[in-house]
Chains A and B, each alone.
Chain A
Amino acid sequence: MVRDPEPRVKTSLRAWLFQPLPPPPAALRRGPLRPGAFDSRSRSARLTSLLGIALAVAFTVCFVTGLISHFIQHPPWWFGWPSRPVGLYRVTQGVHVATGLASVPLLGAKLWSVYPRLFAWPPVRDPVHAIERAGIAALVAAALFQLISGILNIAHWYEPMPFFFTAGHYWSAWLAIGALLAHIGVKLPIVRSALRHRTPERAPAGSISRRGLLGTVGAAAGIITLATAGQTVAPLAPIAVLAPRRPGTGPQHLPVNKTAGGAGVRDAIFAPGYRLTLTGPGRTRNLALADLAALPQHTVVLPISCVEGWSSTGTWTGVRLRDLVELAGVDPEDAEAFVESLETRGRYRATTVPPPHVRDPFTLIALRLGGEPLHPDHGYPARLIAPNRPGVLQTKWVGRITVRGMQ
């Protein structure tokens, strides 16, 4: 340690931080606050530690996969996302949602195991204790925020959330992970000693033992996973009775998130004067649907992978985006394309296709799905479909593409 230059300041701060606060009147010590209000024989530091470790792993998985999804949609300068393997995002986002759902019983059991501590007496001993308790309140609130807002989002139930889901879920994730780091720092000695020393089971007869509770949590997580994972793992679909989506269910056997009617594009997509405006440096072309169909057609099998954790594979036919980039007079090996929908408004009406995806021959402006012209809800007359990309960035009802070389 470096010698403290101002020992007196440090000592007085320390003294203030650990200065005992006056206890509240004992008359307030009622209900759950009274001594022995909880039968805590089923609870133990070991149980809480084991649940805490599992939860920390689950939340880390959710945080990392969620951050990946966020960065793909809002890339910072240092972030790059490849176009292969084609199903990578399908896996990371499927894991994100499945892990979040499986965390429900884990978080429930963890909070139950420490519930008596909410009513500890005195409520705060000193300023440091007050800070720690505020941090725990933030951790619990943010963890509940993550799971509950996520569950509401996959069920498309937005009324209970008086904020924009994506932004709220994102910032509360940082709050949860920050509070989790600090919490681990505070509790590390307790966890270490709880894991080193096996404490005997003390659960009274008829209560669930420590091992029994861990098994129960595992069973609950397993059942939730089996009942929902079929939204992205197609072989599990028949038993996915609680999946918000079924991979094969929807027009042309593919689920839809935003319909043509909902996007307000029904008139524009069927207008006889529809043209795809293709702009490069110094040249603009207007391509009718027949012009697009006259260009070399390619067929690829690619999934639509939604941020909500469902995914479904389709067989898409259309023009390679790199061919259109070349048509616009730009080298497709190092170019970026700004793809705009016929939607006049909406957060996701346009997207930038980065160089790896422009280069990739699997990236299409698709005209057909499963051999048929695109269903209006799948983006008729033309839509973007690229490998390894969130569905929300697979722009439908494409009206304009602006190409830019990267040099």
Chain B
Amino acid sequence: MRTARWALIGAGGLVMVYAIAGALTDPDVKGGALLFLIGVLVAHDGVLLPLTIGAGALAGRLVPMPVRTLVRAALLVSLAVTVVALPLVLGRGRAVDNPSLLPLPYGRGQLETYAVIWAATGVAALVAARRRRSAGPADDSRAGRRSRQPRSHKPPSPNG
């Protein structure tokens, strides 16, 4: 394993050198690529991820316990969809003489996608609530759960 590890590290290092040398000698890659490389790192680690963690913490305060996990999951899925959809929704790539490019109303598409995500979340919450009710008096502790019949279709349980 030691040899394999050093082979991977060595090969990876060489490939990185090849990438940097290639980028430096390619006239189509200007300093802008380095700017973009640093920009996306700072934007993600310094802005998007802290905001996401903050939103998750806020959900912890605002959303009642039985559905908190589901809401957090739905927020994450919505965020991932938004990252893909945003450039389409903004539509900055549209061209006047080419209606076949970005032909759809993407704002509506994004809302429809949110609707599907949150409707599924609502259904999952109802199913989980019914399970809890049919399982007897509210008892969310793990010990309480384990003592009951195991179920084949476990919903995403609030405390995992």
- Which single residue of chain A is at the shortest CB-CB distance from B103? A249
Pairs A–B under 8 Å by Cβ, sample size 21: A108-B76, A108-B83, A140-B44, A141-B41, A145-B36, A162-B31, A162-B32, A166-B28, A173-B19, A179-B16, A185-B6, A185-B9, A188-B1, A188-B5, A201-B160, A205-B158, A206-B69, A212-B156, A216-B77, A241-B112, A254-B100
Query: Shortest 3 CB-CB distances between A and B: which pairs?
Result: A209-B160, A162-B32, A156-B93
Q: Whose C-beta in chain B lies nearest to the C-beta of A137?
A: B41
Decide: A168 and B41 in contact? CB cutoff 8 A: no
Cβ of A351 to closest chain B Cβ, rounded Å = 18
State whether the Cβ of A295 lies closer than 8 Å to any Cβ in chain B: no
Measured between alpha carbons, how far is A150 from B15 in the docked complex, in Å?
21
The answer to whether A174 and B30 have CB atoms under 8 Å apart is: no
Once A145-B40, A163-B29, A206-B60 are accepted as A-B contacts, the answer to whether A215 and B156 lie under 8 Å apart by CB is yes
User: Chain A contacts of B9 at CB under 8 A?
Assistant: 181-182, 185-186
Q: Any chain A CB within 8 A of the CB of B138? A: no
- Residue tally, chain A, CB below 8 Å to B: 91
- Give which listed residue, B18, B72, B88, B99, contacts A208 with CB less than 8 A: B72
Is A148 an interface residue when CB atoms closer than 8 A count as contact? yes
Interface of chain B: mostly helix, strand, loop or mixed: helix
Interface residues of B in 108-160 (CB under 8 A from A): 108-110, 112-113, 116-117, 140, 156-160
Partner of B88, one of A104, A155, A171, A175: A155
A-side contacts of B5, CB under 8 Å: 185-186, 188-189
Residue A50 at the B interface, CB < 8 A? Answer: no
Interface members, chain B 22-81 (any A CB < 8 Å): 22-23, 26, 28-33, 35-38, 40-41, 44-45, 49, 52-53, 60, 65, 68-69, 72-73, 76-77, 79-81
CA of A140 to CA of B76, assembled, Å: 20
Contact with B along A251-279 (1 / 0, CB 8 A): 10011110101100000000000000000
CB-based contact A174/B19 at 8 Å: yes
- Please report the C-alpha to C-alpha distance between residue A74 and residue B156 in the assembled complex, in whole angstroms: 48
Residues 363-394 of chain A: 1 if any B CB is under 8 Å from the residue's CB, otherwise 0? 00000000000000100000000000000000
**Number of residues from B at the complex interface, CB < 8 A:** 80
Separation of A158 and B36 alpha carbons in the complex (Å): 12
Residue among B31, B69, B84, B157 facing the most chain A CB atoms (10 A cut-off):
B84
In Å, the complex CA distance between A249 and B156 comes to 40
Contact present for B28 and A262 (CB under 8 Å): no
